[in-house]
Chains A and B, each alone.
Chain A
Amino acid sequence: MSIDPHKSLQASPEQLAYAAVLEKGMYIGLLLLFVTYAIYLLGILKPYIPVSEISNYWSMSVGEYLNKTHIHPGWWWTGMLGYGDFLNFIGIALLAGVTICCFLIIVPLLWKNNDKLYAVLSVLEAVILGVAASGILGTGGH
């Protein structure tokens, strides 16, 4: 007779696997965010919007801001990583993306443990987050 892992004081293997990926992603994401911000503030890489001018834009609505700065929404920033301000988006995207990896990591474990319902729910969650991340739901502010 097998022991129900959900009736144990210990976390289940898939929960531990999820936690391990989340922890690594969180540390790497925060580290990258702080390092790239230092690069931005110290002027090591020239920013797209000079730091002295940023206060002219942050009171605008996002639509007006994008229009005035000629910044394109969505994944356009990946082509602008040579600028100090856009470099910060690497850490931000990693923090926002790590949860998708966590769900994908636990799918094989759940399937192997014959927990097919949760394997399907985890795939669905990864798809939902992936759709949100893809930018296909609309970009460009109001």
Chain B
Amino acid sequence: MTRTGKPGAFCLALLLSVTVFAGSVFAGADVMAADNASSAPWWMWPLILLVVTFVMGIAAVLGGVGGGVLFVPIISGFFPFHLDFVRGAGLLVALAGALAAGPGLLKMNLASLRLAVPVALIASSFAIIGAMVGLALPTQVVQIALGVTILGICVLMLTAKKSTVPDVPKADRISSILRIYGVYQEASTGEIIDWKIHRTWQGLVLFVVIGIMAGMFGLGAGWANVPVLNLLMGAPLKISVATSKFLLSITDTSAAWIYLNQGCVIPMIVVPSLIGIMGGSFVGVRLLRVAKPGLVRWIVIGMLGFAGLKALTKGLGF
């Protein structure tokens, strides 16, 4: 056994126990939600929500995804809350995570304000449109579209490649005018990396779609931001991940206001979710040292796939 064998085995056992526990909670929640939600004492659902979002917070950190993308399909699929309130809470969960991470990432110069501002302008404008369309559409239609989107995210997670420092031979005209470039030091090697981007207008067009989806489904959009910033526009992976996280604080703000103004925020759903996700993220960061990222990623993809199918079948009325 290697030196990290014992903590690794412990971590694996813990994760599997957590997954089995979460699975039984989901199954129980599903049966109870289908049975009669109002017969349960009022405090039970917020308590289960706290436990499930805590597990979700751990899984999100270890699986390298945002809390919002797990929150909306799982909570809307297995809890008695209407999708309107789940989307409102999902946006606030993703927003709180982005707000908590944003200042540090900006100070470390890993998140780039120059890269984020033009992208945010597009994404936040279209997130407003997405939120308005999402709230105007029949719930079943949104539920089906959510299921399809979540299954698409699973495929994206399984197939998307990443490039640590993409080759950008020449900055394009738009990024040159906007002076979107920078330098950062790779902590692991000490190397100074000079970065610039290309294919800016193609990237901005994709952020139209990303904004609409973020607003419509109440999902944080890190799963889409990172591939576009990294693979299409050529920003280094660390800059892409950090800028994406910071970007969510702007995109989700615009959509969150629409949900808030429409009345889709119930504090009894929002606050336990925030506490659970933040507490889980805190524990997840500590487990990160001993976890096997590959295995955790598979568990997260499995959870997402299950939740996506559940959303789809719920929308189709099965």
Contacts and interface: CB of A to CB of B under 8 A. Distances in A.
Interface of A: 6-12, 14-16, 18-20, 22-23, 25-26, 29-30, 33-34, 37, 40, 51-62, 65-66, 71, 73-75, 85, 88-89, 92-93, 95-100, 106, 117-118, 121-122, 124-125, 128-129, 131-133, 135, 137-142
Interface string B20-37: 000000000000000001
Interface centre among B103, B118, B128, B178 (most CB of A within 10 A): B103
Contact of B249 (A11, A37, A99): A99
Q: Which 3 A-B pairs have the closest CB atoms?
A: A23-B103, A88-B267, A19-B106
Contact of A59 (B37, B181, B257): B37
Contact of A125 (B45, B99, B120): B120
Interface residues of B, number: 69
Interface centre among B250, B263, B274 (most CB of A within 10 A): B263
A19 B260 CA distance: 25
29 contacts: A7-B183, A7-B194, A9-B109, A9-B183, A9-B192, A11-B107, A11-B108, A15-B113, A22-B249, A33-B271, A37-B267, A51-B42, A51-B43, A55-B42, A61-B82, A62-B262, A88-B270, A89-B265, A93-B260, A95-B95, A96-B257, A118-B178, A125-B121, A129-B253, A129-B254, A132-B124, A132-B261, A141-B84, A141-B263
A137 B261 CA distance: 9
A58 B271 CA distance: 14
A129 B123 CA distance: 11
A125 B124 contact: yes
A58 B269 contact: yes
B208 interface: no
A52 B139 CA distance: 26
A6 B21 CA distance: 48
A19 B103 contact: yes
B13 interface: no
A58 B40 CA distance: 13
Nearest to B250: A99
Given A8-B183, A71-B263, 11 more contacts: A6-B114, A7-B181, A10-B109, A19-B107, A26-B99, A51-B42, A59-B81, A62-B82, A92-B265, A128-B128, A141-B84
Given A19-B103, A61-B139, A99-B253, A54 B42 contact: yes
Given A62-B84, A62-B135, A121-B118, A22 B256 contact: no
Contacts of A141: 84, 135, 262-264
A10 B185 CA distance: 10
B239 interface: no
B80 interface: yes
Contacts of B108: 11
Given A26-B100, A37-B271, A66 B263 contact: yes
Contacts of A140: 262-263
Interface string B68-91: 000000000000111011000000
A127 to B, nearest CB: 10
A66 B81 CA distance: 15
A32 to B, nearest CB: 11
Nearest to B100: A26
A125 B117 contact: yes
Contacts of B179: 6
B132 A137 contact: yes
B1 interface: no
B14 interface: no
A8 B185 CA distance: 10
B306 interface: no
B82 to A, nearest CB: 6
Given A6-B179, A54-B42, A95-B92, A20 B103 contact: yes
Interface centre among A19, A98, A106 (most CB of B within 10 A): A19
A92 B262 contact: no
Contacts of B203: none
A9 B184 contact: yes
Contacts of B136: 142
B261 A26 contact: no
A95 B99 CA distance: 8
